[in-house]
Amino acid sequence: MKNLYFILFFLFTHAAWSQGLPGLGAGTIGTNKPVLHGKNWMAITGKPLAATAGAQIFQQGGNAVDAACAMISATSTMWDVLSWGGETQALIYNPNTKKVIAINALGYAPTGATVEFYKSQGMDYPPQFGPLAATTPGTPGGIMTMLAEYGTMSLEQILKPAMDLANGYPIEAQTANAIEAQKARIKEWPYSKKVFLTHLGEKREAPEAGEIFVQEDLYQTLSKLVEAEKSALAAGKSRKEAIQAAYDRFYKGDIAKEIVRGTREQGGLFTEADLANWKVKIEEPLQVNYRGIDVYKLQEWTQGPALLQSLNILENFDLKSMGYNSANYIHTVYQAMNLAFSDRDFYYGDPAFVKSPMKGLLSKDYAKERAKLIGPINDPKIMAGDPYPFQGETNPHSALLKKKQTTLAALDPKEMEAQVDEKFLTEFQSGTTSVQTADAQGWVVSVTPSGGWIPAVIAGNTGVGLSQRMQSFVLDENLSPFNLPEPGKRPRVTLTPSLAMKDGKPILAFSVQGGDSQDQNLLQFFLNVTEFDMNVQEAAEAANFNSYQMQSSFGDHEIKPGGITLRQDTPDWIRRDLLKRGYVMDFWTKTSGPITAIWVDWKHGTLWGGASNYGDDYGIAW
């Protein structure tokens, strides 16, 4: 009788979970991590210690913006996938104005960084590593601007966890081993060698896992920011003015001078004017409505609008009736992503320099025309469309598109390489981290900070590792006339936080690391929640698929038409179906990417958190 009870209990709870019912088993059956619940606040990010930093700030009375700033600061100090010289981009829901705000804290190309310069160095693309890969630092300015405009605490308070880490923290095996693996390149840069190779001359020159890793130069740099703030407060300045004083010291004062000196010493192009003239931009996000839900992304200096374009295309199909990850569903979503990303590759870039046709690209009518291109088999020759007529204009780049179309038409599909190797995958899915925070006051924050990952050039004696984001520019207008490097121009990046609203209220904050795969994984996560009734943890762990039929934003900028990664448990009949449709498949144990997300439960007045089982992603709530 007892066995019968357990069988019936399992069948009932499994049915409830599989139907997405919010009762027994939700977030526990079928997931490796439980869904996270909180009433007052939630902090989720890619690093456990950084989630703890956010929790500390919340416990001291900070809001979700304060906590997000502390978490970005902490992750930037831990080096795994970003550092202080990288870039920060965020979406913030402000409950006071009931609006979503976009933060653009991406550095720009320095003086002398032109197409002609890089070609004169014998390069087909700007380099992946080194001082010539560096855009100006954006993360410090992003943190300080977010804090000053939307936070409540002092810079000293939110920097304390990061300063504690800089003063010495037990380094993780992943980071320590990455340093060891990259030590030959690190030795090319004297300030990086000084910081990273703590056992120089020994067999293992990097720190060991669990060793206390101290960054004295970075600690001193952060201390200078706090000193600037304290001095301004002592002089009677307001909280906001005091944070601005710290901002100015970083970008115009002694810290800036040392960054420029140290970068130029190592072959970089930075000038003091490059840092002084750079500014954080507070922008209007882009937005589309998908079946009653408003989805927000950053502007076209990121790849974020590709997710919006994909949703517009997919709105023309009954995805739910296809069934989750059926062959028809995979094929339809794959093709929609390819159509959107082909537009990304050609049209996206810094709108301050060349205005992309975003009105046309995000037009529902344009999406309907693009959806008509989805046939029964994969099309390896999908290319950018012409959105200009959908905003009442003529395409100024029609000659380039026609040239590209002629080139593609001449290619034999059988000769278009789709096999992926480890080097390609590493570059295509280059990591970053993500930060999600929310609080009971209604603030919701989604951030995808990045840049300055190992191996990074450290700028002089500042401890600040420089970004490698210049590599996301192209040098050939045939690839994109919108994304060519110029001094002061921001490259089109893969970094892409997300917010969703329904009935005027925020319901979902979500982002992921993983280079060009980011908006692919985020699209599928969003569809998992909205079309298939998964909670955030189920959706974060669910089996996704990845396309490589778009130009990589890294390395050699390769493209692999028809290449698709599926999870290993994909059934044989789906594999056979996709093979007939022209796909070249490979299989991984996990395919969702390290997604982090917060769902706002307005019915119960609570927060639900999801952190994927992919890596170190971790959340804390109360």
pLDDT computed for residue 513 by the predictor: 83
Q: What is the pLDDT of residues 22-72, one digit of tens each?
A: 333 333 457 889 999 999 999 999 888 999 999 999 999 999 999 999 999
Cα 54-60-62 angle, rounded to 5 deg: 65
Say whether both 205 and 257 belong to one domain. yes
| Number of compact structural domains in the chain | 2
Residue 487 domain-assigned? no
Say whether both 322 and 238 belong to one domain. no
φ, ψ for residue 439, nearest 5 deg: -140, 175
Question: DSSP alpha helices (H): ranges in 315-431?
Answer: 319-322, 327-347, 358-361, 364-371, 398-410, 422-428
CA distance 225 to 154: 11
Range from 15-24, 49-58, 86-95, 370-379 carrying the lowest mean pLDDT: 15-24
Segment 430-448 shows an average pLDDT of 91
CA distance 403 to 85: 39
Say whether both 466 and 604 belong to one domain. no
Segment 152-161 shows an average pLDDT of 98
CA distance 55 to 41: 8
CA distance 521 to 432: 14
Say whether both 466 and 328 belong to one domain. no
Its domain, for residue 254, covers 60-86+103-280+455-472
Say whether both 545 and 597 belong to one domain. yes
**How close are the terminal C-alpha atoms of the chain, in Å?**
40
Say whether both 259 and 232 belong to one domain. yes
Two structure tokens written together for 256: 């800036």
Residue type, 565: T
Domain end point (choices 472, 506, 533)? 472
Residue 570 domain-assigned? yes
Q: How buried is 490 (Cβ within 10 angstroms: 0-12 exposed, 13-18 middle, 19+ buried)? A: buried
What are 439's strand-pairing partners?
Answer: 41
Say whether both 223 and 114 belong to one domain. yes
CATH code, 409: 1.10.246.130
Segment 227-245 shows an average pLDDT of 98
Residue 76 domain-assigned? yes
The band of 7, judged by pLDDT with boundaries at 50, 70 and 90, is very low
Domain end point (choices 472, 504, 531)? 472
pLDDT computed for residue 522 by the predictor: 96
Q: What is the pLDDT of residues 338-363, one digit of tens each?
A: 999 999 999 999 999 999 999 999 99
Say whether both 388 and 256 belong to one domain. no
Three-state DSSP at 197 gives coil
